Amino acid sequence: MSSGNNNAGTGSFLSGILRNQIFIPIAALLILAVFNFIVDPSFFKITLGHNSNGDPVLSGQLISIIDYGSELAILAIGMTLVTAASRGQDISVGAVIAISGSVVLRVLCGTNSRPDELQAPIIVAFLISCLVAMAFGAFNGALVSIFKIQPMVATLILFTAGRSIAAWINNNELPVVNDETFTYFGSYIPGIPIPTPFFIAIACFIITWLALKFTNLGLYVQSVGINEKTSRLNGLNPALIKFVTYIILGLCVAVAGFIKVSRLSTINYSVVAKDIEMDAILAVALGGNSLSGGKFNISASILGAYVIQFLTTTLYKFQVQSDALPAYKAVVVIALVILSAPVVREKITAAFRKLRSSANAESQS
């Protein structure tokens, strides 16, 4: 009898995990990790070396993943909130990254596109770019919340116009910053061998986590996403909450844009963060969040973002032929998305339940 109880315990534990949102990105991560481990265990090798400035840095594929995946993780935070509240996605994030990145450089460089020294402190440039990105977020938010335009259509405006605006900010020039401290945010702070973008992503996650824990933001966002009318009847202002999520996304975009310009100390507005909006939406989907709004799980989205980077790095590592790269990615994405579809997950849970009951029957007999 006791063994039967045990079985039931593990069974419900398993199905609990399966029903948990975070299961999907973790499973995807495990599959990728196991695949890499079998094919080439050196994938997981991490070595401590020095960069050309003589500062200690860790290097290895895993470090590259947490490094380059960080912007996507930060974007995934904002995108999850926007998706949950407004039942749609913002496709202008890549273009707004170009804008906010251009603003950073514009403030740092002043009128000269190649200054010898910075024209303003870095923190000022960052704060101004935050304000600008939040303003563009507010523009998107206003179209969605007040004018009730479909999010994808509303953000299509900045998607098409954004990169031209970015070009205009710097008079079509490509400014270059020659300042060592500016590069810290996209690479390493001297003496700390872990890439800075990862710390920034963790900081963003902690801030969001605290905000969701100590305010009602999460609850409000979910209720607006699940049913706008009832939340209004319960005294919420759905328009305001949607608007706020777009501004939060704007802030995330500014942080991501800041890391992007810091990486190379310059910006090419026509290609920077190209197609990142699709990856950000995919991160939300991989996190098991419904793309039609409602309940959400930020941690799962962030994990989803790193899974996407894991996949990208894996494909680079195995030297997949250039022109075939998108096709491979598509196949993996299809597999992951199908795996994460509620129908499939229910089937899997049902299969586990069957297994459990048959095990129960065996132990009883």
Partner 1 sequence: MKMKKILVMAASMIMCGAMFAGCGTTETSDSGSNSKSESKSSSSDLIKVGIINNDPNESGYRTANVNDLKATFTKENGYDASFAYSLKNEEQINYAQKFIQDEVDYLLLSAADTAGWDSVLKDAQAAGVRVILFDRTIDADESLYEASIVSDMDKEGEQAVDWLKTQNLETYDIIHLQGVMGSAAQKGRSGALNDTAKELKWNIVAQQTAEWNAEKAQQIVQSVIDSEKKFNVIYAENDDMAKGAVAALDRANISHGVGKDVVVIGFDCNKWALEELKAGNWNYDGQCNPFQSSYIVDIIDKLEKGEKLDNKTVVMEEKGFDAKTITDDDVSRYGI
Nearer to partner 1, 211 or 271 (CB): 271
- Reported as half-sphere exposure (CB side, CA atoms, 13 A), residue 250 has a value of 25
The answer to whether residue 93 forms part of the interface with partner 1 (CB under 8 A) is no
Question: Rounded CA gap, 134 and 130, in Å?
Answer: 6
Q: Is 260 in the site for partner 1 (CB under 8 A)?
A: yes
In DSSP terms, which residues pair with 217 in a beta bridge? none
For partner 1, the binding residues in 325-354 under the rule CB under 8 A are 325
Binding flag, residue 269, partner 1 (CB under 8 A): yes
- CB-CB contact of 36 with 332 (8 Å): no
Stretch that binds partner 1, among 102-110, 115-123, 260-268, 290-298 (CB under 8 A): 260-268
Shortest Å, Cβ 59 to partner 1:
6
What is the three-state SS of 1-25? Answer: CHHHHHHHHHHHHHHHHHHCCCHHH
> Smallest distance from the beta carbon of 342 to partner 1, in angstroms?
34
Interaction of residue 116 with partner 1, rule CB under 8 A: no
Q: Is 313 in the site for partner 1 (CB under 8 A)?
A: yes
* Interface pick for partner 1 out of 14, 120, 131, 264 (rule CB under 8 A): 264
| Phi, psi dihedrals of residue 110, rounded to the nearest 5° | 65, -140
58: contact with partner 1 by CB under 8 A: no
C-alpha 284 chain-centroid distance: 7
Are residues 70 and 201 in contact, defined by beta-carbon separation less than 8 angstroms? yes
- 3-class SS letters over 138-172: HHHHHHHHCCCCCHHHHHHHHHHHHHHHHHHHCCC
Considering the rule CB under 8 A, would residue 115 count as an interface residue with partner 1? Answer: no
Residues in contact with 326: Cβ distance below 8 Å, sequence separation at least 6, in sequence order: none
- Pick the stretch among 45-53, 79-87, 283-291, 336-344 that binds partner 1 (CB under 8 A): 45-53
Which residues of this chain interact with partner 1, rule CB under 8 A?
42, 49-52, 57, 59-61, 64, 68, 114, 143, 146-147, 149, 153-154, 157-158, 160-164, 167, 172-174, 176, 187-188, 260, 263-264, 266, 268-272, 274, 312-313, 316-317, 319-320, 322-323, 325
